[in-house]
Amino acid sequence: KNQVEQSPQSLIILEGKNCTLQCNYTVSPFSNLRWYKQDTGRGPVSLTIMTFSENTKSNGRYTATLDADTKQSSLHITASQLSDSASYICVVNRITNAGKSTFGDGTTLTVKP
Amino acid sequence: DTAVSQTPKYLVTQMGNDKSIKCEQNLGHDTMYWYKQDSKKFLKIMFSYNNKELIINETVPNRFSPKSPDKAHLNLHINSLELGDSAVYFCASSQVPPSKLGEQFFGPGTRLTVL
């Protein structure tokens, strides 16, 4: 069964600290993995898209890693800011012609001053 | 210059009513989607249209009927609303499907509450 599991479910950190969110998947055949940020009351916004051959991709203070062998990804946030408080969703896509994505249920990050 | 817009943002209605949610994208994309996000924050795809043609139709009740008058619009009509339909509904669009690295852009969501 194609699944995406994220951990932790929620996380609280102090402003300025770093954190790492995890995503494990069993989706196959693999096409790409995405990380989205969803602010409260808003739609998800794409942070990174990674294909099979990419190990690391950065977007500002966000760095995603991918290990396609172990089917694991992480999202590292450096020097967190209050505005980083949001849900972070991992999404994995298969090599199909349709647009079916498999979504994780997200990690809720709270950054406190 | 909103890329993907939805109306209304909030919708409160009684059980048994029929309601519609509208979605428009000005990105020139060929593919549009409807997602449902329930109280557990889990996003599930409902429908996807490519150039006005239905390409994904997940197992949703046939009370839900998408309509795409042109490739910039994908509306969602819901008949005989039930309590379990309460959720946030997101519209999204992309130039190519996500399996082909198409960047997906999401609308702001419509929070539907069925009383």
Task: Please report, for residues A27, A107, B33, B61, B69, the alpha-carbon distance to residue A90 in angstroms, rounded to integers and kept in the order given.
Answer: 12, 9, 18, 27, 32
Number of helices (H) and strands (E), helices first, in chain B?
0, 11
**Is the CB of residue A107 less than 8 Å away from at least one CB of chain B?**
no
- Please check whether residue B110 is in contact with residue B19, taking contact to mean a CB–CB distance below 8 angstroms: no
Assess whether pLDDT exceeds 60 at residue A87. yes
- Please check whether residue A6 is in contact with residue B53, taking contact to mean a CB–CB distance below 8 angstroms: no
Give the chain A residue nearest B103 (alpha carbons). A46
Assess whether pLDDT exceeds 80 at residue B50. yes
Mean pLDDT in residue range B37-63 = 83
- Please check whether residue A29 is in contact with residue A2, taking contact to mean a CB–CB distance below 8 angstroms: no
**Is the CB of residue A96 less than 8 Å away from at least one CB of chain B?**
yes
Could you give the percent of chain A with pLDDT greater than 70?
Answer: 96
Residue to substitute from A100, A102, A105, A108, interface B, most B β-carbons within 10 A:
A100
User: What's the mean pLDDT when you consider all of chain B?
Assistant: 90
Assess whether pLDDT exceeds 60 at residue A97. no
Q: Does the beta-carbon distance from B92 to A42 stay under 8 Å?
A: no
Lowest mean pLDDT among A46-50, A71-75, B97-101, B111-115: B97-101
